[in-house]
A and B are shown apart, each in its own frame.
Chain A
Amino acid sequence: MVSPVLFWVVAILTVVPALSLLFARKAVHIAMSIVCVMVGLAAAYVGLDAPFLGVVQIVVYTGAVMMLFLFVLMLVGVDQREDTRETIKGQRWIAFFTAGGIAFLLISVLGRVSIAPQAARVGNPEEIALVLFGRYVLVMEVLGALLITAAVGALIMTHTPRLTPRRTQSEVQAARVLAGADPVNKPMPGVFARHNALDVPARDPEGKPIEHSVSRVLEARHQMSDGDEFRTRLENTSNPEDSQLPNGAPSADSDERTPRIGEEDQK
Chain B
Amino acid sequence: MLTLTWLLIAVPLASAAVLLLAGRRADAWGHWLGVAASGTAFVVGFVAFLQMLGLESEERATSVHLFSWIPGGELNLDAGLLVDPLSMTFVLLITFVGTLIHVYSVAYMEHDADRRRFFAYLNLFVAAMLLLVLADSYLLLFVGWEGVGLASYLLIGFWNFKREYATAANKAFFVNRIGDLGLIFAMGLMFSYFGALDFDSVLSQAPEATTAQLTAIGLMLLLAACGKSAQFPLQSWLGDAMAGPTPVSALIHAATMVTAGVYLIVRSAPIFNGAPNAQVVVAAVGAFTLILGALIGMAKDDIKKALAASTMSQIGYMMLAAGLGPIGYAFAIFHLVTHGFFKAGMFLGAGSVMHAMNDQVDMRRFGALKGAMVVTWVTFGLGWLAILGVPPFSGFFSKDKIIEAAFVGEGWQPWVFGGAALIGAGLTAFYMSRLFFMTFHGKARWTDEVHPHESPALMTVPMMILAVGSAFLGLFLAMGDRFTHWLEPVTGHAEHHEPVLPVPVLIALTLILVAAGGLLAWLRYGRAEVPETAPSASLATLAARNDFFQDSVNRAVVQRPGQHLTRTLVYVDATVVDGAVNKQARGWAGLGEASRRLQNGQVRSYAATMLVGLVIVVAVIVVGGL
Touch between A and B in complex, CB under 8 Å?
yes
Residues of chain A touching chain B, judged by Cβ–Cβ distance below 8 Å, are 88, 91, 94-95, 98-99, 101-102, 105-106, 108-109
Please name all residues of chain A whose beta carbon is closer than 8 Å to the beta carbon of B605 when the two chains form the complex.
Answer: 88, 91
Judge whether B622 and A102 touch: CB under 8 Å: no
Tell me the minimal C-beta distance from B327 to chain A in angstroms: 66
For the A-B complex with A88-B605, A101-B619 known, give 9 more contacts whose Cβ atoms are closer than 8 Å: A91-B604, A91-B605, A91-B608, A98-B608, A98-B614, A101-B615, A105-B618, A105-B622, A106-B618
Tell me the minimal C-beta distance from B605 to chain A in angstroms: 6
A119 to B440, CA, bound (A): 106
Q: Which residue of B has the minimal Cβ distance to A95?
A: B608
Judge whether B618 and A94 touch: CB under 8 Å: no
Please name all residues of chain B whose beta carbon is closer than 8 Å to the beta carbon of A109 when the two chains form the complex.
Answer: 622
Query: Cβ of B574 < 8 Å from any Cβ of A?
Result: no
A108 to B619, CA, bound (A): 11
Q: Is the interface of A mostly helix, strand, loop or mixed?
A: helix
Tell me the minimal C-beta distance from B175 to chain A in angstroms: 40
Judge whether A102 and B611 touch: CB under 8 Å: yes
Please name all residues of chain A whose beta carbon is closer than 8 Å to the beta carbon of B619 when the two chains form the complex.
Answer: 101, 105
Please name all residues of chain A whose beta carbon is closer than 8 Å to the beta carbon of B615 when the two chains form the complex.
Answer: 98, 101-102, 105
A91 to B618, CA, bound (A): 21
Contact residues, B569-608 vs A (CB, 8 A): 600, 602, 604-605, 608
A95 to B604, CA, bound (A): 9
Please name all residues of chain B whose beta carbon is closer than 8 Å to the beta carbon of A101 when the two chains form the complex.
Answer: 615, 619
> Which of A88, A94, A105, A106 contacts B612, CB < 8 Å?
A94
Judge whether A102 and B618 touch: CB under 8 Å: yes
Contact residues, B525-540 vs A (CB, 8 A): none
> Which of A88, A94, A102 contacts B614, CB < 8 Å?
A102
Residues of chain B touching chain A, judged by Cβ–Cβ distance below 8 Å, are 600, 602, 604-605, 608, 611-612, 614-615, 618-619, 622
Q: Can you sample 24 A-B contacts with CB below 8 Å?
A: A88-B600, A88-B602, A88-B604, A88-B605, A91-B604, A91-B605, A91-B608, A94-B608, A94-B612, A95-B608, A98-B608, A98-B611, A99-B611, A101-B615, A101-B619, A102-B611, A102-B614, A102-B615, A102-B618, A105-B615, A105-B618, A105-B619, A105-B622, A109-B622
Q: Which residue of A has the minimal Cβ distance to B614?
A: A102
A219 to B615, CA, bound (A): 50
A94 to B614, CA, bound (A): 13
Please name all residues of chain B whose beta carbon is closer than 8 Å to the beta carbon of A105 when the two chains form the complex.
Answer: 615, 618-619, 622
A91 to B611, CA, bound (A): 12
A235 to B611, CA, bound (A): 66
Tell me the minimal C-beta distance from B611 to chain A in angstroms: 4
From A91, A94, A95, A108, name the one whose CB has the most chain B CB atoms within 10 angstroms: A94
Please name all residues of chain A whose beta carbon is closer than 8 Å to the beta carbon of B622 when the two chains form the complex.
Answer: 105, 108-109
Q: Which residue of A has the minimal Cβ distance to B609?
A: A94
Q: Which residue of A has the minimal Cβ distance to B619?
A: A105
Q: Which residue of B has the minimal Cβ distance to A90?
A: B608
Tell me the minimal C-beta distance from A25 to chain B in angstroms: 17
Please name all residues of chain B whose beta carbon is closer than 8 Å to the beta carbon of A98 when the two chains form the complex.
Answer: 608, 611-612, 614-615
Please name all residues of chain A whose beta carbon is closer than 8 Å to the beta carbon of B602 when the two chains form the complex.
Answer: 88
Please name all residues of chain A whose beta carbon is closer than 8 Å to the beta carbon of B600 when the two chains form the complex.
Answer: 88
Q: Which residue of B has the minimal Cβ distance to A109?
A: B622
A108 to B612, CA, bound (A): 18
Please name all residues of chain B whose beta carbon is closer than 8 Å to the beta carbon of A106 when the two chains form the complex.
Answer: 618
Please name all residues of chain B whose beta carbon is closer than 8 Å to the beta carbon of A91 when the two chains form the complex.
Answer: 604-605, 608
The 10 closest A-B CB pairs, nearest first, are A101-B615, A98-B611, A94-B608, A98-B615, A105-B618, A105-B622, A98-B612, A88-B602, A109-B622, A88-B605
Tell me the minimal C-beta distance from B23 to chain A in angstroms: 45
Q: Which residue of B has the minimal Cβ distance to A108?
A: B622
Tell me the minimal C-beta distance from B604 to chain A in angstroms: 6
From A95, A98, A99, A105, name the one whose CB has the most chain B CB atoms within 10 angstroms: A98
Tell me the minimal C-beta distance from B618 to chain A in angstroms: 5
A94 to B604, CA, bound (A): 11
Q: Which residue of B has the minimal Cβ distance to A106?
A: B618
Q: Which residue of A has the minimal Cβ distance to B625?
A: A109
Tell me the minimal C-beta distance from A207 to chain B in angstroms: 55
Q: Which residue of B has the minimal Cβ distance to A112?
A: B626
Q: Which residue of B has the minimal Cβ distance to A101?
A: B615
Tell me the minimal C-beta distance from B351 to chain A in angstroms: 62
A109 to B600, CA, bound (A): 34
Tell me the minimal C-beta distance from A26 to chain B in angstroms: 20
Please name all residues of chain A whose beta carbon is closer than 8 Å to the beta carbon of B608 when the two chains form the complex.
Answer: 91, 94-95, 98
Q: Which residue of A has the minimal Cβ distance to B613?
A: A98
Q: Which residue of A has the minimal Cβ distance to B618?
A: A105
Tell me the minimal C-beta distance from A84 to chain B in angstroms: 13
A109 to B622, CA, bound (A): 7
Please name all residues of chain A whose beta carbon is closer than 8 Å to the beta carbon of B618 when the two chains form the complex.
Answer: 102, 105-106
Tell me the minimal C-beta distance from B597 to chain A in angstroms: 10
Please name all residues of chain B whose beta carbon is closer than 8 Å to the beta carbon of A99 when the two chains form the complex.
Answer: 611
Q: Which residue of B has the minimal Cβ distance to A86?
A: B604
A136 to B298, CA, bound (A): 82
Tell me the minimal C-beta distance from A257 to chain B in angstroms: 57
Q: Which residue of B has the minimal Cβ distance to A100?
A: B615
Tell me the minimal C-beta distance from A3 to chain B in angstroms: 31
A26 to B560, CA, bound (A): 83
Q: Which residue of A has the minimal Cβ distance to B602?
A: A88
